Amino acid sequence: MEELFREGVAASRGIAIGRVSLYRPITVETTQELLAPEAVKEATEHFCAVLRQSRSELASVHHELVSRGKNQQADIIGAQLSILDDSLLEEGVTDRILSRKNAGWAVRETFAEFAKAFEKINSTYIKERVIDLHEVGDLLLRAVMDVRAPSFAEMRESSVVVAPALSASDVAKLDFSKVVGLVLESGSRTSHTAIIARSHGVPAVVGLKNISDEVSSGDSIAIDGDKGHVCISPSAERVDSLRKTMEQEQI
């Protein structure tokens, strides 16, 4: 494969050379199918059980991050946990289910309503909460629809994770003893993933549209988080040059 050079947004400093670990989040499709009247009670109870389980799982992630001293990452997860704990969320979804909307439809519509209200407010803090809303909405929707996120279990040493996007809870599952870099199609320097990458000292480049379609797991890759450069199948000369830069920075 010929060397492919791409330029994105420098999100976390440093140079990484490794192998691609491609991550493709599963898109969850919902319908606007109405529930049968006799199915409403069971659907409501199922949603409440899923919500409790989702809260428990995210709380466990938060506790683990706190115990490891990953305070920035824990704060992000804590903010998302507070959304799941909000009684308005549970009320919004259950009210829609009681009106016979299926659970997936009810969850998607409730989060869309919250996000629309937040997006009208011109505030950096509120914009960050909108990101949290979208991430938590996707997490809860997957849980309601019983769609499991892809696993990172097969990740090898010196992996550079390439993905369309990663949520804060996705990143919390990464084994940073194996991850040496992150490359995302979306995001910015202030995105959750960029903040977390910097806290781990892991180089990251974001804003590389369609990069997931240009690589396969196992491809060689080199990234420069200072310049926002990504190179797939880098030449031996480029790898040598980057290694020399890495060695000089470590002196």
- pLDDT score at 187: 86
- 3-state SS, one letter per residue, for 80-113: HHHHHHCHHHHHHHHHHHHCCECHHHHHHHHHHH
- pLDDT score at 190: 86
**Planar angle of CA 197, 8, 164, nearest 5 degrees:** 65
- Contact predicate 180/203, CB 8 Å: yes
Instruction: State whether the Cα torsion 101-103-105-108 is positive or negative.
Output: positive
- pLDDT score at 122: 79
- pLDDT score at 173: 85
Q: What is the pTM of this model?
A: 0.87
Query: pLDDT tens string for the chain (251 positions)?
Result: 789 999 999 999 999 999 999 998 888 999 999 999 999 999 999 999 999 999 999 999 999 999 999 898 999 999 999 999 999 999 999 999 999 999 999 999 999 999 998 888 877 777 778 889 999 999 999 999 999 877 787 788 899 999 999 998 888 889 899 999 999 999 888 888 999 999 899 999 999 999 999 999 999 999 999 999 999 999 999 999 999 888 877 65
- pLDDT score at 251: 57
- Contact predicate 222/238, CB 8 Å: yes
Tell me, what amino acid is at 206? Answer: V
How far apart, in whole angstroms, are the C-alpha atoms of residue 227 and residue 219?
Answer: 21
Sheet bearing 220-224, strands edge to edge: 4-7, 229-232, 220-224, 15-22, 159-163, 179-184, 204-206, 9-12
- pLDDT score at 36: 97
